[in-house]
Amino acid sequence: MTRCARDRTVLFIEEPIFDDAAPHPQLEQVFPNLWRLVPHLPPNRDELTDQQVMRAMIAKTAQALGLMRPIHWFYTPMMLPIADGMPACLTVYDCMDELSNFAFAPAELIERERQLMEKAQLMFTGGMALYEAKRSRHHNVHGIPSSVDTQFFAQARGALPQPSDQAALSNPVIGYCGVIDERIDLGLIEHIARERPDWSLVMIGPVVKIDEACLPRLPNIHYLGSKPYEQLPAYMAGWDVAIMPFALNDSTRFISPTKTPEYLAAGLPVVSTAIRDVVVPYEQLELVRIGRDPAGFLAHIDDFVSGDTVDEAKRDAFLASVSWDQTWQRMAQLVNEALLRERSPQAERIQPTTEQEQHV
């Protein structure tokens, strides 16, 4: 969205926060041309009332920003009723995952996705496995695998001061960063910790949708909680191996972990379970090693700890092809083509977008 904001005004609407204050929008400018809106709503009201209040908040904010007939860009079908009746020059569905497979998914999500896919003129998927699952259900869908800001994460390749909550840990340090939820194979984490008690396992990220009592608790497993994005390279700089210990279940069937290229950009060797969008292309290109059972996963970490490396030239050549700048250029072109089709089905060449065709 920061790249989109170079050319358009972006109003990014987050899910509401329910508190005891009177209904109000929290509006923040996070980058030039990029605004973040968080609706605050009273708790324990009916969904229809909340939708009406949010719709009014968004419409008023969009008008103040000059977004008279914007692009509606959805990351979740659950926001579809909020946009009901709001004018748009284009509807885009950016499907980042199969949300209906997640724990506690709303019952109405599947029907709302069906409605959104009927409405959207353009659809993206957050990976190729998800693209293969959705491509027969939409006339204009494109797979967009995870990309990376290589320069940002490459800071970890240098000597960065170690964060205080990681600096005292014994080496080697095996690290993971991301949400800790039903997608993580907690049994695998416990297996690694028990088999290698001299290693330090660092788990960075919030614990959501699972009971923290379920987390394996051993002296060499360190749950450091959530960290600001800008601090991640400093943590990664202290790791010897990065891991993606995903369980293989319905909730991970279509994931395309953004952390895969981020770990590689940080210069780290990476071991993952057999996630489809990691096996292809990362294992095929010999950039990531896949552990197909706990023993194999542990053996790959052992090899890296013992000195095995990844071909750096091959890794960096791949990273040069998956930057967010390149990804956004491709997405922007597809958006412009869709806009042209909406204006004139007979149009044959891409024209610059008008000021009215902005982004919400």
pLDDT in tens, 37-64: 999 999 988 999 999 999 999 999 999 9
Per the domain annotation, does 358 fall within a domain?
no
> Average pLDDT in the 88-108 region?
88
Count CB-CB contacts under 10 A for residue 14: 12
Task: Clarify whether residues 251 and 221 are in a common domain.
Answer: yes
Token pair recorded at residue 230: 């800008």
Q: What pLDDT is attached to residue 103?
A: 75
Task: Clarify whether residues 106 and 159 are in a common domain.
Answer: no
Task: Clarify whether residues 124 and 177 are in a common domain.
Answer: no
Contact call for residues 153 and 233 (beta carbons, < 8 A) = yes
Backbone phi and psi for residue 77, each to the nearest 5 degrees, phi listed first: -65, -20
Task: Clarify whether residues 215 and 274 are in a common domain.
Answer: yes
Per the domain annotation, does 78 fall within a domain?
yes
Percent of the chain with pLDDT over 90: 88
Q: pTM of the prediction?
A: 0.89
Q: What pLDDT is attached to residue 104?
A: 74
Whose structure tokens read 């009406």?
A: 52
> Average pLDDT in the 132-145 region?
95
Task: Clarify whether residues 254 and 225 are in a common domain.
Answer: yes
How buried is 13 (Cβ within 10 angstroms: 0-12 exposed, 13-18 middle, 19+ buried)?
Answer: buried
d(CA 313, CA 299): 24
Q: What pLDDT is attached to residue 102?
A: 77
Report whether pLDDT(352) > 60: no
For residue 136, CA distances in Å to 121, 124, 126, 142 come to: 15, 13, 16, 11
Per the domain annotation, does 357 fall within a domain?
no
Q: What is the CATH number of the domain that holds 123?
A: 3.40.50.2000
Task: Clarify whether residues 59 and 155 are in a common domain.
Answer: no
Task: Clarify whether residues 64 and 128 are in a common domain.
Answer: yes
Task: Clarify whether residues 315 and 178 are in a common domain.
Answer: yes
Show the domain range for 24.
4-147+323-343
DSSP state of 322: S
Task: Clarify whether residues 222 and 239 are in a common domain.
Answer: yes
Q: What pLDDT is attached to residue 162?
A: 96
> Average pLDDT in the 83-97 region?
93
Task: Clarify whether residues 143 and 38 are in a common domain.
Answer: yes
Per the domain annotation, does 359 fall within a domain?
no
Per the domain annotation, does 352 fall within a domain?
no
Per the domain annotation, does 353 fall within a domain?
no
Q: What pLDDT is attached to residue 356?
A: 37
Name every residue whose Cβ is closer than 8 Å to that of residue 58 and which is 6 or more positions away in sequence. 11, 13, 25, 37, 39, 82, 86, 360
d(CA 33, CA 252): 34
Report whether pLDDT(359) > 60: no
pLDDT band at 345 (very low <50, low <70, confident <90, very high): low
Task: Clarify whether residues 304 and 330 are in a common domain.
Answer: no
Contact call for residues 307 and 253 (beta carbons, < 8 A) = no
Per the domain annotation, does 355 fall within a domain?
no
Per the domain annotation, does 232 fall within a domain?
yes
Q: Across all residues in the chain, what is the average pLDDT? A: 93
Report whether pLDDT(354) > 50: no
> Average pLDDT in the 96-123 region?
90
Task: Clarify whether residues 205 and 171 are in a common domain.
Answer: yes
pLDDT band at 349 (very low <50, low <70, confident <90, very high): very low
pLDDT in tens, 328-340: 999 999 999 999 9
Q: Which residue has the higher pLDDT, 85 or 276?
A: 276
Query: What's the total number of domains in the chain?
Result: 2
